Amino acid sequence: MTYAIEIERLHYRAGKGFEIPALDLHVPSGSIYGFLGPNGSGKTTTIRLILGLLQPLSGRITVLGDSMPQQYARILRRVGYVPEQPHLDATMTVRELIAFQSAFYPGWDRARASELVQQFELDQAQLFGRLSKGQKAKLMILLALAQCGALLVLDEPTDGLDPVVRRDILSALLTYVSERGATIFISSHLVHELERVCDWIAVMDNGRLITESPMDKLKHGTKRLVVTGAPAEIGDPPFQLLSRERSNGAGEQWVVRNWEPAMAGYVESLGASIRDVIDLDLEDGFVELLRGFRGRAVHS
């Protein structure tokens, strides 16, 4: 497997308040990779490190096969970036911004830019500062797509937008990936949105990576078990036990990760029985991963 982004043992510190102690991240080429985490978890900081906007204390960052920041100019020619906050000149029109951006990219796709202007229903004579929030988001996505980069890095690109605008933007991104085989690295806290489009998911909290997994494995391997007759100590289970709580009725509820049906035999070997196995959607799994991670941090 080849990777569009590889991060190994990355260490970064911002004053005394925030630290990424040792981050490992592997983004497969051609994937739509969702980067999940609550606000303040370190998602935007990680993106800025990937793009060479911040300097790590140590570790290695490779983007599209080149080292960052050593080869930042070569890398950024092939990367489309949409930051969390609009960053374009408010006094320029849509037409002027498209022309300005196109001058920096030899591979600029004028036909795609024109197509997206029509698809997104953008008025090219309108000043950027007078566009709605949704129109600004569409224009920034247009500029990133028309660069024809091998990698798109998107930081909360649909946060605060209405469902119709989000659908239009996600549709354009999916079309781009299918046509060009590009990689999309998309940061968000909107779990249900990433569930629809991503094939890989990473979850970050407080500067630390909790998990990195194919979407199917994360969704289908995270379960809530209703268990009766379990002993107080269960040793070293073949699954990851995220939480264990008494249920309202008899028995307990366990939230487990990396579950497979054959593991029921392990539970039965404890003298316990499983009354039910309940599927969790990505949002429930995300919440349970955070709860389990924070619980371990408190007790460590």
Indicate if the pLDDT at residue 46 is higher than 90.
Answer: yes
Is residue 265 domain-shared with residue 154, that is, in the same domain? no
The confidence score (pLDDT) of residue 292 equals 81
- Mean pLDDT of the 282-300 span: 78
The confidence score (pLDDT) of residue 193 equals 81
The confidence score (pLDDT) of residue 299 equals 52
At 101, list the tokens.
């951006």
Most confident of 137-151, 166-180, 279-293: 137-151
At 266, list the tokens.
């392990």
Is residue 12 domain-shared with residue 126, that is, in the same domain? yes
Q: What is the CA radius of gyration of the chain?
A: 22
pLDDT in tens, 96-121: 999 999 999 988 999 999 999 999 99
265: domain CATH number is: 3.30.70
Is residue 22 domain-shared with residue 152, that is, in the same domain? yes
- For residue 37, the enclosing domain spans 3-216
Indicate if the pLDDT at residue 188 is higher than 80.
Answer: yes
Question: Distance between CA 175 and CA 112 in Å, rounded?
Answer: 11
The confidence score (pLDDT) of residue 298 equals 53
- Characterize the bridge pairing of strands 200-205 and 32-36: parallel
Question: Edge-to-edge, what's the strand order for the sheet holding 32-36?
Answer: 79-82, 151-155, 183-188, 32-36, 200-205, 208-214
User: Identity (one letter) of the amino acid at 173?
Assistant: L
Res. 297 pLDDT band, cuts 50 70 90: low
Is residue 78 domain-shared with residue 147, that is, in the same domain? yes
**3-state DSSP assignment of residue 193:** helix
Indicate if the pLDDT at residue 247 is higher than 80.
Answer: no
The confidence score (pLDDT) of residue 196 equals 84
Residue after which a domain boundary falls, among 191, 216, 241: 216
Is residue 22 domain-shared with residue 170, that is, in the same domain? yes
Residue after which a domain boundary falls, among 216, 235, 253: 216
The pTM of this model reads 0.90
Is residue 67 domain-shared with residue 125, that is, in the same domain? yes
Residue after which a domain boundary falls, among 175, 200, 216: 216
- Mean pLDDT of the 79-91 span: 92
Is residue 39 domain-shared with residue 104, that is, in the same domain? yes
Structural contact between residues 185 and 175, judged by C-beta atoms closer than 8 angstroms = no
Number of compact structural domains in the chain: 2
